[in-house]
Copies of this chain bind each other. A is one copy, B any other.
């Protein structure tokens, strides 16, 4: 263990970045299949096409890999969501239903990702620093989501009455209904109930405004 070993690499090769990414991708697959707790370093390496040497050269523990992978993936999903909402903002006019569909399509219900997230959440509830990471992520979701959702709703003829309430409600409803959809993947009714619940929530946290869509949609939203 000389000084050069502990020193940070002067130049990071592109090969390194690639292996790191492959390990991150493999981690998602393995964790989803085996569960994080039951996964081993060997399994991840084998899936990625490496041996343990590559792993310990890039990460210090499975925990670190788990965190890095989760942050990368959830960040990517947030980017997708942001993009979808911004695209929505460029359109001429949007009905509430169309807007809802667009948002729900931007956040697909992926069982592999859900399993990983569920375990990450449980893990975070045991670890204060991880809990802060998750809380920060939720904060970021709100910061991204709320202005764009609010804008979309205004364009659809609705004014948001409780911003933070709506934000938390949307996240909670998403999480809660995602499980139901995954537990009964073949039951179309579950997905319809999910959409219905979203409509109710959006309706509850916003009030009608006078616009082309407002009168037409009120009938569909209220009952």
- Residue A68 interfacial (CB < 8 Å): no
Determine the distance from Cα of A123 to Cα of B194 in the docked complex, in whole angstroms. Answer: 23
Q: Give A111's nearest chain B residue, CB to CB.
A: B125
Determine the distance from Cα of A38 to Cα of B63 in the docked complex, in whole angstroms. Answer: 12
- Interface 9-residue window, one of A15-23, A29-37, A100-108: A29-37
- Residue A179 interfacial (CB < 8 Å): yes
- Residue A74 interfacial (CB < 8 Å): no
CB–CB A204/B200 < 8 A:
yes
Determine the distance from Cα of A174 to Cα of B199 in the docked complex, in whole angstroms. Answer: 18
Question: Given B115, B165, B204, which contacts A125 in the complex, CB threshold below 8 Å?
Answer: B115
Residues of B within 8 A of A39 (CB): 37
Chain B nearest CB from A30 CB (Å) reads 12
Question: Given B36, B161, B168, B194, which contacts A223 in the complex, CB threshold below 8 Å?
Answer: B161
Residues of B within 8 A of A36 (CB): 35, 37
- Interface 9-residue window, one of A51-59, A130-138, A146-154, A211-219: A130-138
Determine the distance from Cα of A118 to Cα of B165 in the docked complex, in whole angstroms. Answer: 24
Chain B nearest CB from A118 CB (Å) reads 4
Q: Give 1 or 0 for each of A187-223: 1 = CB within 8 Å of chain B CB.
A: 0001001101100110111010000000000000001
CB–CB A183/B37 < 8 A:
no
Determine the distance from Cα of A173 to Cα of B172 in the docked complex, in whole angstroms. Answer: 6
In the complex, chain A residues 112-157 whose Cβ is within 8 Å of any chain B Cβ: 114-116, 118-119, 121-126, 131, 134-135, 138
In the complex, chain A residues 1-51 whose Cβ is within 8 Å of any chain B Cβ: 33, 35-39
Chain B nearest CB from A64 CB (Å) reads 15
